[in-house]
Amino acid sequence: MKFPIPKEVLIREAKEWTNSILVALILTLIIRTFIIQAFKIPSGSMRPTLMEGDKLFVNKYVYRFEAPKPGDIIVFKYPVDPKKDFIKRLVALGGEKVEIRDGKIIVDGKTLDDPKLFGKFFYYNHDPYGAPGETIQVPENNYFVLGDNSGNSTDSRFWGFVPKKNVLGKAVFRWWPLNRFGKIE
């Protein structure tokens, strides 16, 4: 024997489901827009730090409380095509002078040689923003970024500077693949 479900019960259930789905969508939108967002690495420009197919979380609020620092891996809107997101290592801030010499990065006369961040990579010179013997002045409110895989990275050496307003956040945690799971240095 079947018992018909009263119309009031169906309406109440539909409203509860609709409210729950709406709240979930709004929370997802807020979290993704202002707090944290997942990204997938599309190319080998950040090898070996980040590999093609790595999936990571980007902290989108950290730079509201502190300034980006050289060595941070940042996600930003590509200055040439802002519809694309890029990920690179921050090398120099606005007002600083950058030179690539003998595979090393020199900022304001000091070689960046921290073995965890810069010292283990060889950086190649390239025109127009990194020709041999050339020192580049980073404009205020801009950043100079490089891929860790310098020989296979389209970065500031090719297209110039990243405006401060283009920065989306800092890469903080790799969640895939599981054998590389953990905090990003």
Does the predicted TM-score (pTM) go above 0.75?
yes
CA 88-90-93 angle, 5° bins: 145
- pLDDT score for 144: 98
Is there a domain that residue 4 lies in? no
- pLDDT score for 164: 97
- pLDDT score for 1: 56
- pLDDT score for 3: 67
pLDDT values of the chain reduced to their tens digit, one per residue, 185 residues: 566 778 888 888 889 999 899 888 888 887 777 788 999 999 999 999 999 999 999 999 999 999 999 999 999 999 999 999 999 999 999 999 999 999 999 999 999 988 888 888 999 999 899 999 999 999 999 999 999 999 999 999 999 999 999 999 999 999 999 999 999 97
Is there a domain that residue 9 lies in? no
The yes-or-no answer on residue 153 being catalytic is no
Q: What are phi and psi of 113, to 5 degrees?
A: -130, 20
CB distance 146 to 118 below 8 Å: no
Give Cβ neighbours of residue 71 (< 8 Å, ≥ 6 apart): 89, 90, 114, 117, 118
- Identified catalytic residue from 2, 7, 40, 45: 45
- Identified catalytic residue from 88, 153, 156, 170: 88
- pLDDT score for 77: 97
Q: What is the CATH number of the domain that holds 176?
A: 2.10.109.10
> How many structural domains is the chain composed of?
1
Range of the domain at 170: 38-183
- pLDDT score for 6: 82
The yes-or-no answer on residue 88 being catalytic is yes
Is there a domain that residue 21 lies in? no
